[in-house]
Amino acid sequence: MPARDSRSLLLLLCAFFALYVIWGSTYLVIRIGVESWPPLLMAGLRFLIAGSLLFVWQLSRGAPMPTRREWVGGGLVGFLLLSCGNGGVTLAEHSGVASGVAALAVATVPLFTLCFGLFWGQHNTRLEWAGIGLGFIGILLLNLGENMQTTPLGAVITLFAAASWAFGSVWSRHLPLPAGPMASAVEMIVGGGILFIGSRLSGEPLTTPSTMDGWLALGYLIVFGSIIAFSSYMYLLKHVRPAAATSYAYVNPVVAVLLGIVFAGERIGQAEWMAMIVIVAAVILVGLPQWRARGKARKANLAEAEVKPQA
């Protein structure tokens, strides 16, 4: 395998790990954080700090200053993904929605992604549709479990957050964005700024937590949940099919529920365990078209290299 292909494959694997595992853990961390922080204030500070750090780091590495069009494009993506998407999840968990339930609602992202992709003429494979359908069977199974109960308002908020995230993800492929991690920096600065303004307008108290858990939760969300995981997500949106990039939404509930069992003492029944098996199978189905396409591309590159005349 050529060195370039090996590096590309390693980057993809690391990005998927960040989405599947790190983002799965952020639901529990958000639940811990909102016990000490006002929800919009915490979310706003999270992205403002992470975006500013990433912005300064990119400038120090010689990245060009984003243009006005790139600020507008990145701002729109940041508003949809972070202000509406992540902000909605944070509000839902603050209102009492369990971390596993919040992750479960976000599992609707791939379905919304496929539907919104039709607006731009995207054609989805049968395997992708089958994976989405199987994933929603897993969602139904999770809803049968005792631990997956939520209020109607919480369900509406989390579904709106999922739809906003999906629409922003698809639209981001057609908007002028800065190159590389600078796009994530712009999106987090704008999205975090909007959340901070929302915090001020809603009358949230401008207070900081008195407990170490609150500060640790914010630090974890800044470094791991935002800088690492969100940048990985934006990288995948540029290099894989949208359905594969959003397949994390089927794994995150599994991670969130397991972490709830280990660290929060939550119990899980037979329905939840069955749902996890179905969800993992759905992820495999959604990812198969992308993995097949990359396998064919590698074979084609190897075949081309073999037939080239030696210099």
CA 80 – CA 107 distance, rounded (Å): 17
The residue among 36, 86, 35, 58 whose CA lies nearest residue 192 is: 86
**pLDDT, average across residues 232-248:** 80
CA 310 – CA 303 distance, rounded (Å): 14
In the chain, the amino acid numbered 15 is A
The residue among 57, 33, 29, 17 whose CA lies nearest residue 229 is: 17
The residue among 161, 6, 195, 173 whose CA lies nearest residue 84 is: 161
pLDDT in tens, 82-139: 999 999 999 988 887 777 777 777 777 877 887 788 788 777 778 878 887 887 788 7
pLDDT in tens, 13-72: 889 999 889 988 998 999 899 989 999 999 999 999 999 999 999 999 999 999 999 999
In the chain, domain spans: 21-292
Residue 176 structure tokens = 């002028």
Task: Determine whether 123 is exposed, middle or buried from the number of CB atoms within 10 Å of its CB (0-12, 13-18, 19+).
Answer: exposed
CA 177 – CA 286 distance, rounded (Å): 26
pLDDT in tens, 166-210: 999 899 989 999 988 899 999 999 999 999 999 999 999 888 787
